[in-house]
Amino acid sequence: MKFYWYPKCGTCRNAKKWLDEHNVSYEAVHIVETPPSKAELKKAYEKSGLPLKKFFNTSGQKYRELGLKDKVASASDDELLDILASDGMLIKRPLAISNEIVTVGFKEEEYAQKWH
């Protein structure tokens, strides 16, 4: 599993701690230094079953600076994937991706269900 995270993010640290405590193996990837590519994001989006807007870090400063709220509502999936791939800070984190499973953000119940 690839675990995209931002070390200064408390939610990411909690998710990482959960994975460690439950002996889930993962490859930690700094989401800003090495963001997922557009192709990786597209695959994750298709696997997740979630709307693409769920992949955006809507509470992030960058999201607000770029005024993405209206853009996300009207842009095509292809445009949105380009935007997400352009900056790791725009992606909701942590983002965990395996061959079958994708989780966006961290909810302990969801991790227990999917990453046990």
Instruction: Report pLDDT digits (tens) over 36-52.
Output: 999 999 999 999 999 99
Return the CATH number at 86: 3.40.30.10
pTM of the model as a whole:
0.95
pLDDT at position 29 is 98
pLDDT at 80 over 90: yes
pLDDT at position 116 is 83
Least Cα distance to 8 among 41, 27, 33, 25 occurs for 33
Range of the domain at 36: 2-114
Count of CB atoms situated within 10 Å of the CB of 22: 11
pLDDT at position 91 is 97
Instruction: Report pLDDT digits (tens) over 2-60.
Output: 999 999 999 999 999 999 999 999 999 999 999 999 999 999 999 999 999 999 999 99
pLDDT at 63 over 90: yes
Number of domains in the chain: 1
Query: Measured between alpha carbons, how far is 112 from 116 in angstroms, rounded to an integer?
Result: 5
